[in-house]
Chain A
Amino acid sequence: MVGSVRLPGLRHPAPPDHMPSREAVNLVLICTLAVLALHVTHVPLWMVLAASCLILWRYLIDNLGWRSPGSLVRMLLAIAMMVMVYKHYQSLLGRDPGVAMLFGLTGLKALELRRLRDYLLTVFLLYFLTVAAFLYSQSLWVGGYAFLVVALTTLCLVQLNQPLGAPWTRCLRLAGGLLVKSIPLMCILYLLFPRIQGSLWGVPIDAYGVIGLSDRVQMGSVHGLIANDRVAFRVEFDGEPPANRDLYWRALVLEDTDGRVWTRRSDLDDDPVPETIRERGREINYSVTLEPHNQRWLVALELPTVTPAMARRRAGYIVEANRKIRNRFRYRVQSHLDYRTGPLSRDQRFWGLHMAKAPTPRMQQLVNDWRAVAKTQAELVQLGFNYFREEPFFYTLSPGDIGNNPVDEFLFETRRGYCEYFATSFVTLMRMADVPSRLVVGYQGGEWNPAGNYMVIREFDAHAWAEVWLPGRGWQRVDPTAAVAPERVELGFSVLSRMAQNGHAFGVLDVDAARAAAQSNWWQRGVRETGFYFDFLNNAWNQLILDYDVDQQREWLRTLGIRTPAWVVLTGTLVLVVVLLFLLMAVVMLRPRPDRDPVVAGYRRFCAKLAPLGLERASYEGPWDFARRVARARPDLDGEVRRITSTYVNVRYRNRFAALPVLRRQIRQFRPTRSGGA
């Protein structure tokens, strides 16, 4: 007996520690590998190798009789690990070094699994590492795998506390039963545990990176997004979704430029004069679920007319969240696709005509030609648009390099590019022609998911287009890309990439031919359709589990009637509900269960009939002893009791199951009277 597991400082009988079995080592090692697999993507490779070697070493110690390292060796290994981690991360604190260090320690701990204490500490460490994996990925797959790992670790814990040689099925049933029975309590805790708004300590910068659209655009900058099929946001429409060509998801307006890079206006005031919109046509209501991008911009169809909650309007008809989007953010917006905007302010006119450097002579010549022909600004814009349609411009996803004067080179030499090439050139030309204009970036199109009836917009749907201000109409969208490759706007980027897969050029075919050119074979179609269901599952997972935060909790509590979710109220409710649920479980789990064996149950009924006569069977009394005692006390019952006992003993101990109906009938007909000798 080595110590005992009782709480320190309290004297009460407690089970002594026991030595875990040999199988426990193997199970813990398997479990450790399963948990470490969750971390291989972000822990440095040398650490993965080191931990695997340590686990292998332990396995060899047990199975091939290798020597077990002493405590000095283990200590040195731990120090070496710490130094390596420090050299790699320049710190021991924070998420990444912390997880890497725990990763290594888990491997090291495998070497010194000896007493029950070591095993249990390892198991707790494994639980912690499993949960820490969610700091890196919260996908459905990681969640599902982590659940399996938790189940396996729990099996470990149960097995460690079972006697030697306990059957596996029993451990499995116990661990499974425990987990399943914990689920209601888990739900209560999850829903009611008070969530907080801020962070406890500074979240390290490494936790989030800027993802998605950038507020700096130059020719070629969107290129990184084109290869990225990460979901940018999902949209559920109230009613029919608009046609693909109308799906311009506005995110940022870029007005400032140095000739190469387009950025937002630096003097943008926080509280602009409300810009007027005169909306026409039907409104479109929809909910957007935006994936975290660590920036503030929100997307909305052009133009948003109702600002979402927790967000505000910024100049340029864009909406911005009140804080950086670091968790999936769901909001409702209203937009009007048909609109007129109000007059141009001085400020807007200045920025709408801002030029960084003097245009080259051939650009000036081009614009001068248009100005000579056009009578109105609208005609000028049309001429500019036609230029892109009629001249040999090509839509391609792999344009060549471009030099120092990008607009000039693109317009007259390379003529190959995609949306931002066309949009930035177009805006530059319009500004030279004194038409106020600006660059808008966002997403265009989207893929309809028929499995979940929502639209998925991915990073490769990123798009840039131009906006010009025309007297009497206000800001109007002009998308020069549509002039070059109409299928990009009509059918969306995913169709475009399928066309590219099938070896078709862009901008050559009309829309129907392009759609036909994007036809994929049954295998690709099957993959795509399965993808819809996966994304639907993922979306459900996101909305049900991942996005549950302060706001959702508040909303949910409101439906329960708790209107002031103060911390104290919430905690009180939580404790109350947990206690009630626990009592309910206690009643269900601890109630005596009726015997399922019909033979035993029958005999119990027989004994119950005798009990009121003062003839209670003692638990140590065999059936025949009891029968003899009954016969002594009540000779009148002797025959019947003897018969029933004989049948019972035959069925129960001599396996004469055929006599079970007889036993039942005999017991049913047995009606002892209260007074003897009747």
Chain B
Amino acid sequence: MARNTTRPATVERITLGRRQLYMLPTRYGLYFCVALVAMLLMALNYHNSIAYLFTFLLAAMAITSMLYTHRNVAGIEISAHAQAPVFAGESAKFSLHTENDRPRPRSGVWIHCGDRAERLELGAKDSASVELQQRTTRRGYVEMDPIAVSSAFPLGLLCTWSKSFRFNARCLVYPRPHGRYTLTPAAAGCTPQSYGTHADGDDFVGLRAYHPSDPPRHVHWKASARSQELLTKRFGGGGGTVWLDWDRLVELEPESRLSQLARWVVDAESNGLSYGLRLPGSVIGAGHGKHHRHRCLKALALWSGQ
């Protein structure tokens, strides 16, 4: 089956069926049973036929509601996928896509994820998405917590719930961008020839400190505002590159190094620099842009020694 690339890829999808669903009375269901028993005793003791009739009507209603409760949940299709990568410490976001292909609305369905629960209302032949957030602490991939579905529709007397499903949706977590060193040529180990030279051409390749002779329209105002000194855009073809190098940070722990590198990647990208990344065992050539940033951060997120 060719996967449609316009939608985020789903890894697994489930359809809730009889085998995945359980049912028991709720606490209120037990109270209701107590009331029913009281009514039955009354009917029995007073030989009251019509009291029997109504007691049995209510009992039959509770039994019939089992089918309603089951039908409300059975057949829901659920798929999950991760949203955009996040930095460690932020919340990883997962989208749960639920689909109802039955001509009947589903009401009061709860999605449980960890200790949180989200209410879901699904129209007839409708689909709905629920966003689930999950705290992250470490870089790398974070697996989605198992989810379960429950519902006490329609009377609240019975509760049906599904067993837990572990979707293999995972969210990429970049290292936390953090470090002492700001992005300076010395620290970042830029190639000397690339810094501070004019280059001809129209391609924007990066920024350098402002010289009074630079034409004002080459000043990168946005970046200047961020770095609090004037920066000039550099143009050129094979211009210089900032190399963000693992080996320059020998005094740091590996995780701190990754955090420092991540900070530089973020800074370099926002400063519009062309940057490359050198890690033990892998080198990512110079570049810039969203995809390049993602490549670098992903490499940092997934780096596992040599």
Q: Cβ of B99 and Cβ of A619 under 8 Å apart?
A: yes
Q: Determine if A662 is an interface residue (Cβ-Cβ < 8 Å).
A: no
Q: Cβ of A193 and Cβ of B56 under 8 Å apart?
A: yes
Which residues on A sit within 8 Å (CB–CB) of B152?
5, 14-15, 161
Q: Looking across the interface, which residue of chain A has its beta carbon closest to that of B66?
A: A582
Within 8 A of A (CB), among B14-40: 22, 24-28, 30-32, 35, 38-39
- Given contacts A620-B4, A620-B7, is CB(A545)–CB(B53) below 8 Å? yes
- Given contacts A5-B159, A189-B59, A189-B60, is CB(A127)–CB(B39) below 8 Å? yes
CA distance A170 to B123 in the complex (A): 12
CA distance A200 to B53 in the complex (A): 19
A-contact bits for B107-136, CB 8 A (1 contact / 0 none): 110101000010101000100000000000
- Given contacts A150-B57, A158-B154, is CB(A163)–CB(B107) below 8 Å? yes
- Given contacts A6-B26, A7-B26, A619-B77, is CB(A127)–CB(B58) below 8 Å? yes
Query: Which of A131, A143, A185, A186 is the one whose CB lies under 8 Å from B42?
Result: A131
- Closest Cβ–Cβ distance, residue B273 to chain A (whole Å): 39
Q: Determine if A114 is an interface residue (Cβ-Cβ < 8 Å).
A: no
Q: Is the interface of A mostly helix, strand, loop or mixed?
A: helix
Q: Determine if A455 is an interface residue (Cβ-Cβ < 8 Å).
A: no
Q: Looking across the interface, which residue of chain B has its beta carbon closest to that of A143?
A: B50
Q: Looking across the interface, which residue of chain A has its beta carbon closest to that of B115?
A: A1
Q: Cβ of A547 and Cβ of B49 under 8 Å apart?
A: yes
Within 8 A of B (CB), among A91-145: 116-117, 120-121, 124-125, 127-128, 130-132, 134-135, 138, 143
Q: Determine if B161 is an interface residue (Cβ-Cβ < 8 Å).
A: yes
Within 8 A of A (CB), among B33-91: 35, 38-39, 41-61, 63-68, 70-71, 74-75, 77, 79
- Closest Cβ–Cβ distance, residue B63 to chain A (whole Å): 6
Q: Looking across the interface, which residue of chain B has its beta carbon closest to that of A192?
A: B56
Scoring A131, A132, A549, A632 by chain B CB atoms within 10 A of each residue's CB, the highest score goes to A131
* Segment from A71-79, A229-237, A497-505, A590-598 that makes contact with B: A590-598
Which residues on A sit within 8 Å (CB–CB) of B125?
600
B-contact bits for A1-43, CB 8 A (1 contact / 0 none): 1000111101011111010000000000000000000000000
Q: Determine if B261 is an interface residue (Cβ-Cβ < 8 Å).
A: no
- Closest Cβ–Cβ distance, residue B278 to chain A (whole Å): 41
- Closest Cβ–Cβ distance, residue A582 to chain B (whole Å): 6
CA distance A179 to B155 in the complex (A): 12
CA distance A147 to B61 in the complex (A): 13
Query: Which of B1, B32, B60 is the one whose CB lies under 8 Å from A616?
Result: B1
Which residues on B sit within 8 Å (CB–CB) of A7?
24-27, 30, 159
CA distance A158 to B6 in the complex (A): 41
Which residues on B sit within 8 Å (CB–CB) of A182?
57, 60-61, 63-64
Q: Cβ of B161 and Cβ of A186 under 8 Å apart?
A: no
CA distance A65 to B228 in the complex (A): 58
- Given contacts A6-B159, A185-B60, A189-B56, is CB(A585)–CB(B67) below 8 Å? yes
Q: Cβ of A621 and Cβ of B4 under 8 Å apart?
A: yes
Which residues on A sit within 8 Å (CB–CB) of B31?
120-121, 124
Q: Cβ of A15 and Cβ of B50 under 8 Å apart?
A: no
Which residues on A sit within 8 Å (CB–CB) of B215?
none
Q: Determine if B149 is an interface residue (Cβ-Cβ < 8 Å).
A: yes
- Given contacts A12-B24, A203-B45, A625-B4, is CB(A166)–CB(B61) below 8 Å? no
Q: Determine if A548 is an interface residue (Cβ-Cβ < 8 Å).
A: yes
- Given contacts A131-B43, A135-B51, is CB(A161)–CB(B153) below 8 Å? yes
Q: Determine if A546 is an interface residue (Cβ-Cβ < 8 Å).
A: yes
- Given contacts A5-B27, A163-B119, is CB(A200)–CB(B41) below 8 Å? yes
Which residues on A sit within 8 Å (CB–CB) of B53?
186, 190, 545
- Given contacts A5-B152, A179-B61, A203-B46, is CB(A15)–CB(B7) below 8 Å? no
Q: Cβ of B108 and Cβ of A629 under 8 Å apart?
A: no
Query: Which of B10, B55, B99, B161 is the one whose CB lies under 8 Å from A14?
Result: B161
Which residues on A sit within 8 Å (CB–CB) of B102?
592-593
Q: Cβ of B54 and Cβ of A134 under 8 Å apart?
A: yes
Interface size of A by CB at 8 A reads: 84
Q: Determine if A162 is an interface residue (Cβ-Cβ < 8 Å).
A: yes
Q: Determine if B281 is an interface residue (Cβ-Cβ < 8 Å).
A: no
Query: Which of A190, A195, A592, A619 is the one whose CB lies under 8 Å from B56?
Result: A190
Q: Cβ of B103 and Cβ of A596 under 8 Å apart?
A: yes
CA distance A196 to B48 in the complex (A): 11
Q: Cβ of B39 and Cβ of A131 under 8 Å apart?
A: yes
- Given contacts A1-B117, A5-B159, A131-B55, is CB(A185)–CB(B63) below 8 Å? yes
- Closest Cβ–Cβ distance, residue B272 to chain A (whole Å): 37
Q: Determine if B156 is an interface residue (Cβ-Cβ < 8 Å).
A: yes
- Given contacts A596-B103, A625-B6, is CB(A193)–CB(B52) below 8 Å? yes
Q: Determine if A586 is an interface residue (Cβ-Cβ < 8 Å).
A: yes
CA distance A99 to B19 in the complex (A): 46
CA distance A178 to B79 in the complex (A): 32
Q: Cβ of A135 and Cβ of B47 under 8 Å apart?
A: no
Which residues on A sit within 8 Å (CB–CB) of B67?
582, 585-586, 589-590
CA distance A13 to B159 in the complex (A): 9
CA distance A632 to B1 in the complex (A): 12
CA distance A15 to B161 in the complex (A): 9
CA distance A154 to B197 in the complex (A): 82
Q: Looking across the interface, which residue of chain B has its beta carbon closest to that of A174?
A: B154
- Closest Cβ–Cβ distance, residue B164 to chain A (whole Å): 8
Which residues on B sit within 8 Å (CB–CB) of A590?
67, 70-71, 74
CA distance A116 to B152 in the complex (A): 13
Q: Looking across the interface, which residue of chain A has its beta carbon closest to that of B120?
A: A163
Q: Cβ of A128 and Cβ of B154 under 8 Å apart?
A: no
Q: Determine if A201 is an interface residue (Cβ-Cβ < 8 Å).
A: yes
Which residues on B sit within 8 Å (CB–CB) of A205?
none
- A to B CB contacts below 8 Å, 27 in the list: A5-B27, A6-B159, A7-B30, A12-B159, A14-B26, A14-B159, A127-B39, A131-B39, A131-B42, A131-B43, A131-B54, A135-B46, A135-B48, A150-B57, A154-B61, A174-B68, A178-B61, A183-B60, A185-B64, A189-B60, A193-B52, A545-B53, A549-B47, A618-B4, A619-B99, A620-B7, A621-B4
For the A-B complex with A166-B107, A589-B67, A592-B75 known, give 7 more contacts whose Cβ atoms are closer than 8 Å: A127-B39, A127-B58, A128-B35, A170-B105, A185-B56, A190-B56, A589-B71
Residues of chain B having any CB pair with chain A under 8 Å: 1-2, 4, 6-7, 10, 22, 24-28, 30-32, 35, 38-39, 41-61, 63-68, 70-71, 74-75, 77, 79, 97, 99, 101-103, 105, 107-108, 110, 112, 117, 119, 121, 125, 148-156, 159, 161-162
**Ordered nearest first, which 5 A-B pairs have the shortest CB separation?**
A185-B60, A182-B60, A189-B56, A5-B26, A13-B148
